[in-house]
A and B are shown apart, each in its own frame.
Chain A
Amino acid sequence: MVEIITDSICDLPSQLTEQPGITVIPLNILFGKEFYRDGIDLTTEEFYRRQSEGVVIPVTSAPTPSTFAEAYDRLAEATDEILVITISSELSATYKAAVVAIGLMKKRCRVEVVDSRWAISAEGLIVVTAAKAVRAGANLDEVVAVVQRSIRRVDMRATFDTLEYLKRGGRIGAASVLLGSVLNVNPIITIRNGIIHPAGRERSRAKAIDYLCNFAMSYSHIEEMAIEDATTPGDAEELAERLSAKFPKERIYRCKTSPVIGTNTGPHVLVLSLIGDR
């Protein structure tokens, strides 16, 4: 069976990531001199509490190649096919670390590293399709083909109440045009070709949620959907409820935005990711 490795950016709920066959490599967070592994040493709640205290500004770093290499070697004991799906290489050095790690492996095993070109739950849904293909008995080449197809079909929109965190993290990309507004606006962003792009701006949180809702409603057919929030489960629930006519609520993956992403978005991020046809 193909073993799947992904990074903690994919924000998949733990009931999925704890399944056999999926290994999550954590990114790292530094609060001053304190070092944490995303989702392991630092829970999402604890992170946002500390972030909002604002005493130390957290920074993030990609996993080291050796972290990946250790995972490869460990999994290679039981499999000879490993698929690694990472956050967009434009946003993090994680992809590079995963590739370099191939050269550091001690065991022999075929490893394919795929740059998802996405992040957060959009990346997560790509992992979901890969895991489903593996369960259906696909071999590594077949799973890679499924993943490539998902990369092209997935889409996502995210809103939050300020772009300041994204700007501070240096990842604002083309969405920088949304910066600097004298009025309060809720920016809406997406990812295109691996980097962050502006998708719109709304005057209120309620309108931003309308935007996410309309975005999903514009699809004629939806195969997978994920809704994620960091500290606003009420908004996520409202969105899921409003979309239930379009897509069964119980099939929506409900995700929590990981601290590493939270470092770049702030606590009020709300994300809708889906795979489907317009």
Chain B
Amino acid sequence: MSQVKLLSGRELRDMFVAATDWLEKNAPEVDALNVFPVPDGDTGTNMTLTMRSTLEEAFRAPDHSTSAVAEAIAKGALMGARGNSGVILSQIWHGLAKGLAGKELFTGRDFAKALTIASMEAYKGIDNPVEGTILTVAKDMAAAARSQVDNGEDDIMLVVEAAVKAGRESVANTPNLLAVLKEAGVVDAGGQGLYTILEGALHYLKGEVAEAQLGKPGIIVSNVPMLAKTAQMMAADENPYGYCTSFIIKGQELDPDKIRLKLKKKGESLIVVGDKSVVRIHIHSLDPGGVLHMATSLGTVHHVSIQNMDEQHQDFVEAQQGDIPAADIGVIAVVSGEGLASVFTSLGVMAVVPGGRTMNPSTKDLLQAVEAVASDKVIILPNNKNVILAARQVQALTEKTVKIMPTRTIPQGIAALLAFNSELDMETNLQAMKKARLAVKSIAIARAARSTQLGKLQIKRRQPIGFLDGRLVAVADSLVGVLAKTLARLDLAKAEVITVYYQNDSGRLEIGPLIGSLREKYPQLQIELLRGEQPHYNYIVSVE
């Protein structure tokens, strides 16, 4: 795009579209900065929502003249303003519209002038302006834009570029002006938000489409030496914050100045903006009911929002502290057989390493899976005693934290996985998984690979044999017979759940009568049959 000298209302609107998109990308980071006036972590969200409402109205402007679009922008911001920062932002756009009033087209000079009025209006809307906030950033940006124009420059792109550059320095300087920012080790959230908006607009003016689509705005890092981050971010005083109360009064002959005076004693962070017919009010009050009563005497009240800030703050602090690191534990399981793999996947494992016929994946196979999953902390379920050692080798080969839950059988692996809770930390999970692993009984039924003698048991090749927790305990002439024998070694009257993973459909048919008699004999039992498709074992059974 070539340099733009004269812009229309349509281009003003498109600047705002680009600015809103750009801000939206940055909203969570801006939220995280939020410590003043109340550290409730919603500045980025509130500013984004305010900008969205601004846009909606901008698209409803009666024509494409600059003044009509600017007025629509101001109206949309006023109606949709959310939170402290949103209301101040709406006041800034109100000033911008004032500065662009009567203009069909606008130049860099017009925009600089409008920015100046915008920053003045922002100060006017607030009862006790505090420096080191969005107000300071607005003022500094306007001053830079104006001095660019005073040097004879009328190109909008260069004017906005100067404002953005000044905004960056101003945001970085906010901790010098506001002690609570310095204590928290952050720059001002509202200031950062406003800067991001102008930066988005600049991308549009420069025609940097790809940059705007693929890039991401950054949080300005201050070079002001920060104090150590405190565990709990607190605003300067520790009084209760009360209720963040905001609403719109519609009426006739409303007087924002008089309303401001009336509400002054009702709370903190008072902002009153608007005109004769619509006034938006934002106040942090311990008595939102009283504020609303006063408001209803002046006109009709709309868009009422009352939020308990002490609670918001509490939530914010909790969200900052707990939970976050724990969420990134991934579980990997060594499993053979499609059906069993889908059981593990459906219960939330991040990767299944095929064991092959022998259930013996290499350390390399396991390492690859560990590196492939998105988590930095990984729990491996070997599900076979011969895999445990290979799994332990992985620990030394990766930078990730790898823990081995030494499950020796598939039922142990499933029980451990069921006990896993992605919202808890590693230690808690390992304990719960261990307990679950040890609480389950595992049965495996297969045909003997060769003739042998084990203790008192004489076994012929191909003869069905039964393992209980890895120990050979039974031999019989049929698969179902050996399963019945193996089950008989357990006190099924005390069991609750039996899950049978059969190898194939004929296995399911054969087992039917046994399951029927078990159900009859032990009515408390919950028996579930699933197609495991596991190699080698005709049946794998868990008893809990």
Task: State the A residues within 8 Å of B (CB).
Answer: 99-100, 102-103, 108, 110-115, 117, 148, 151-152, 174, 177, 180-185, 193, 197-207
Contacts and interface: CB of A to CB of B under 8 A. Distances in A.
A193 B292 contact: no
Nearest to B542: A203
Given A103-B301, A111-B289, A193-B318, A181 B544 contact: no
Contacts of A117: 311
A184 B528 contact: yes
B423 A174 contact: yes
Contacts of A204: 496-497, 526, 544
Interface stretch (B224-232, B340-348, B383-391): B340-348
A133 to B, nearest CB: 18
A115 B311 contact: yes
B247 to A, nearest CB: 7
B174 to A, nearest CB: 29
Interface in B391-422: 414, 418-419, 421-422
Interface of B: 247, 289-290, 292-293, 296, 301-302, 304-306, 308, 310-311, 314-315, 318-319, 342-343, 346-348, 414, 418-419, 421-423, 496-497, 499, 524, 526, 528, 530, 544
Contacts of A185: 347, 418
Contact of A197 (B301, B302, B343, B423): B423
B343 A182 contact: yes
B342 to A, nearest CB: 6
A182 B526 contact: no
Residue from A114, A181, A205 with most neighbouring chain B CB atoms (10 Å):
A181
Nearest to A99: B306
Contacts of A183: 343, 346-347, 414, 499, 528, 530
A197 B323 CA distance: 12
A181 B347 contact: yes
B308 A207 contact: no
B422 A115 contact: no
Contacts of B296: 103
Contact of A202 (B347, B348, B418): B418
Contacts of A199: 421
A182 B348 contact: no
29 contacts: A99-B304, A100-B304, A102-B292, A103-B296, A103-B301, A103-B302, A103-B304, A112-B289, A117-B311, A148-B308, A148-B310, A174-B423, A177-B348, A180-B346, A181-B346, A181-B347, A182-B347, A183-B414, A184-B526, A185-B347, A193-B319, A198-B422, A200-B421, A203-B418, A203-B499, A203-B526, A203-B544, A205-B526, A207-B544
Given A110-B289, A183-B499, A183-B528, A103 B418 contact: no
A198 B421 contact: yes
Nearest to A89: B307
A26 B319 CA distance: 32
A180 B301 CA distance: 47
Contact of B530 (A111, A182, A207): A182
Contact of A114 (B289, B305, B308, B419): B308
Contact of A177 (B422, B499, B544): B422
Contacts of A112: 289
